Structure 1
Amino acid sequence: MKPIFSFLLLMCVAVLTCGIAQAEVPSRANNDAFDRYAAEVEARLPRQKAAFASVHEGQPTLRRMTPDLPPPDLRGAMLHHWQGDFFLPGGRADELQALLRDVNRFPQRFAPQVERATALPSPPGHLLSVMRLRQHHVLTVVLDGHFDTTFPAQGYSISRSTRVDEIANAGTAGEHSLSDRENHGFLWRQNTYWLWWERDGGLYVRLETLSLTRDIPTGLGWAVRPFVESIPRESLAFTLQHVADALRHAR
């Protein structure tokens, strides 16, 4: 392993596992800023279908949507906003909706990132679920995410995390959820938006993700920021590709 790469990996590990006082939980100002940004994204969801005209068959197209100038009140936090599209000839909207609602099969469809998933008793118009998520990027991070998904109108869905717990010693007798002051801030909040449009003999699909994580300590951004920002991108690409593959197999 090249010395500079070894150094960067060590920096990533050091930053992502450093002091409790730098992690904790997002502040009220962080949460309010995230909510305002999410509201702007959600307001334009019904109007996005026109953008599908530039999507063609092939590998999913990914775009970083995170603004260069972060929203105010995000001190101590980082916003990650990504978007991806694909077109599936012969695909159908009802097949995608059925896949998104079949939470209990997510571990088979999205392994190894989703280890287990369970749909919970839900009020009308909502799909509540809990998922065990695993990410491996130098470190292995295990999270239990609780989500509330709605299908507010034809052609799109909105999923919001209601709680995210970081799990220590996952899969062992000592497994436990870290407290708010113990967690490392790998993922504080996550919103996921699916959009679809059945047209031109197939199905246009868009996945948009918003996530909130802890910030990077001042002075280390040059070493760690590219690594940290690659995680939501890779997760988006993984999910899109697996959904496309599942839809192809359903035909």
Structure 2
Amino acid sequence: MKPEPRNLLLAAFISFLAIPAGLRAQVKPETQHDFDCYIQSAEARMDARKPFVLADADSALNQKLVRGQKIETIAANGVNPHKLAGGQLYDWIGTVFIPGGSLDRLIRMLQDYDHRPQFFPETISTSKLLCRTGENHFRYTMQLKEPAVIDVESDVVWERVDQHRWRCRSYSTHTSEVGKDHGYLRRLYSYWRFEEGDKGIYVESETITLSDEFGSMARTFGSMLLGINPEKSLRHSLASMRESVLKPGLEIPTLPAGLAACGEAVRPGGCAVAGTQ
């Protein structure tokens, strides 16, 4: 039997309570529930995937990245945006090859959260590291330039898979648009993979964003009418990353000491499902 409406509402409310308090006021419980269910399914798909980066199993994609030096983007789960209850979600994969790059140098640059505007000038205006636990758990804040001026606080966990591969995940814990709130960005989750080969580094990111619900025309032409274009932002980030890490004379300071520990890493609320009768 199908769950009763009251059970579905209960499931949404349970999922809603699992998120940080700073985010609850920005979305409805049913929107958060749909988002959490999507994230749970997306993360299961990522974990089950065999190639570490897509270019490992796709020779045509590999040729575009290595020989063509192109930045490629792929809709990760069908046509964007995905309609949720009270919101819309974008899910993009972006990938780039950095010829001759050093994986160690790239990771050190990306973990320098105090200087992200220097590395990503097209998309970030300010940033600050808030706390750090060990060598792999960070929390920082940044101000985005697009689709509007938006303050985002994120919790990031890094994992070294082996000598030649890293991955990390970043969950936004707070978003706030400066000035009038248009609802352009409510959640920003990203999942990064880095693989060092003989000729350079493969970088791949799956970025999942949540915005408020807009009309059908705005959803269809969102990038033109509203300025919501996560694919464009992802391309800018990958291009800036490649350019910055290859810049001669790039100096990367050591991680600051004396910061407070971040505490327990953030995890998504999960897709709560109420029992049936």
Fold match (TM-score > 0.5): yes
* Runs of 4 or more above 6 Å deviation: 69-72
Counterpart-to-counterpart distance in 2, 1:233 and 1:212: 13
**Per-residue Cα deviation, 1:30-49 (whole angstroms, up to 9, x for no partner):** 22222222233333257442
Aligned residue among 49, 54, 57 for 1:51? 54
**Per-residue Cα deviation, 1:203-238 (whole angstroms, up to 9, x for no partner):** 111122100001112565455476458611110110
Question: How far off is 1:70 after superposition?
Answer: 7.4
1:167 aligns to what? 178
Runs (5+) with no aligned partner, structure 1: 1-23, 169-177
Point out the structure with the larger strand share: 1
Q: 1:30 and 2:31 equivalent?
A: yes
Aligned residue among 224, 227, 235 for 2:233? 235
Distance change (3 Å), C-alpha of 1:68 and 1:242: closer
1:78 aligns to what? 88
2:100 aligns to what? 90
Matches for 1:178-197 after TM superposition, within 5 Å: 183-197=181-195
2:264 aligns to what? none
**Per-residue Cα deviation, 1:120-151 (whole angstroms, up to 9, x for no partner):** 12334421001111125xxxx21110000001
**Per-residue Cα deviation, 1:155-183 (whole angstroms, up to 9, x for no partner):** 21000100001111xxxxxxxxx6xxxx3
Question: How far off is 1:66 after superposition?
Answer: 4.5
Aligned residue among 128, 135, 146 for 1:135? 146
* 8 A contact 1:131–1:146 mirrored in 2: yes
1:151 aligns to what? 158
Distance change (3 Å), C-alpha of 1:114 and 1:47: same
What CA RMSD, in Å, does the superposition of the two structures yield over aligned residues?
A: 2.6
Counterpart-to-counterpart distance in 2, 1:197 and 1:82: 19
Question: How far off is 1:64 after superposition?
Answer: 2.1
Q: SS of the counterpart of 1:39?
A: helix
Q: SS of the counterpart of 1:59?
A: coil
Runs (5+) with no aligned partner, structure 2: 1-24, 250-277
2:78 aligns to what? 67
* 8 A contact 2:121–2:240 mirrored in 1: no
* 8 A contact 1:87–1:202 mirrored in 2: yes
Distance change (3 Å), C-alpha of 1:110 and 1:221: closer
Q: Which moved more, 1:90-99 or 1:237-246?
A: 90-99
Counterpart-to-counterpart distance in 1, 2:158 and 2:112: 14
Q: TM-score by structure 2 length?
A: 0.67
Identity value in percent? 24
**Per-residue Cα deviation, 1:100-135 (whole angstroms, up to 9, x for no partner):** 101111111212421110001233442100111112
Counterpart-to-counterpart distance in 1, 2:86 and 2:170: 24
Matches for 1:106-125 after TM superposition, within 5 Å: 106-124=116-134, 125=136
